[in-house]
Amino acid sequence: MNEKNVVAFAVSDSTGKTAKHLMESAVGQFPEHEIKIKTFSFVRSLDRVDEIMKKAKEENAIIAYTFVKNEMRDYLNQAAEKNNLEYIDMMKKPLAMVAGRLNVEPREEFALKYKLDEEYFKRIEAMEFTLKFDDLNESKGIAEADIVLVGVSRTSKTPLSVHLSYLGYKTANVPLVPEVEVHPSVLKDNAEKVVGLTIDPEMLNDIRIERLKKMGLGDDATYAAKERIKEEFEYADSIMEKIGCPIIDVTDKTIEETAVEVLSYFND
């Protein structure tokens, strides 16, 4: 196998998100190379480990894994070393550190269930709220939201709202369109709640052209015209200036990065 064709396995006895995110962060540092990440979730038997290791050997894969059971970790380590495969155990050190501080041994139980506590129900409520008040210029959502996102179309308001709701924040988002008067409740004493989103005009133009193509429309529609985009930005800037809200440039930012910046205004 050509060593430049890198394959990474994210293996877990749960969803595999932690191992996958680690590999994605590493892979992101090599944008010029094509690196595949394959996730193997809910791996809870040694037989399943054997199956995965066979595939890993065939593809000369790098392995990142999270197992809570010592037996599973030891077994995979030995199999990886036997097959000359590189691997990282992402659970051993964190478990050892916490166990050392508490002076107790970990329970080694597969995927302990989330407690149905206040935080859990808060997150569910936030997600339901956010879906209900997506892309609306409406007083109730603005009044009850923890965070209100404003910006022109295609500045990632909806995906960002959904992500923030998963973190437990009721999030409303309001489109800023020159022909539609923004609801007065957005402007009224909401500088501590509203966050404006902006983006590089050239990138927005490209995004809108791609959007039109997917809708089966030509790229000469007013929606993607540079003159129209300029007009929208001028209107949006004037509204955000009236509110006095912070403005985040989402150009080249991931949803997660933008969310961190949004929350920095609320968690001081």
The pLDDT score that the predictor gives to residue 115 is 54
What is the spatial distance between Cα 237 and Cα 239, in angstroms, rounded to a whole number? 5
Residue 14 counted as an annotated binding residue: no
pLDDT tens per residue, range 175-222: 999 999 888 888 886 778 999 999 999 999 999 988 888 887 766 678
Tell me how far CA of residue 184 lies from CA of 51, 61, 111, 137, 140, in angstroms.
61, 57, 47, 10, 12
What is the spatial distance between Cα 125 and Cα 14, in angstroms, rounded to a whole number? 25
- Who has greater pLDDT, 49 or 113? 49
Residue 2, pLDDT above cutoff 50: no
Residue 1, pLDDT above cutoff 50: no
Across all residues in the chain, what is the average pLDDT?
90
Residue 36 counted as an annotated binding residue: no
Q: Residue 249 — left, alpha, or beta (φ > 0 → left; ψ -120 to 50 → alpha)?
A: beta
Which domains does the chain carry? 7-102 (3.40.50), 118-264 (3.40.50)
Provide the pLDDT confidence category of residue 112 given band limits of 50, 70 and 90: low
What is the pTM for the complete model shown? Answer: 0.68
Residue 153 counted as an annotated binding residue: yes
- Who has greater pLDDT, 266 or 205? 205
Residue 17 counted as an annotated binding residue: no
Find, among 183, 187, 165, the residue nearest to 242 by Cα. Answer: 187
What is the spatial distance between Cα 259 and Cα 65, in angstroms, rounded to a whole number? 27
The pLDDT score that the predictor gives to residue 108 is 87
The pLDDT score that the predictor gives to residue 17 is 87
- CA angle, 98 then 100 then 102, to 5°: 70
Residue 152 counted as an annotated binding residue: yes
Residue 130 counted as an annotated binding residue: no
Residue 158 counted as an annotated binding residue: yes
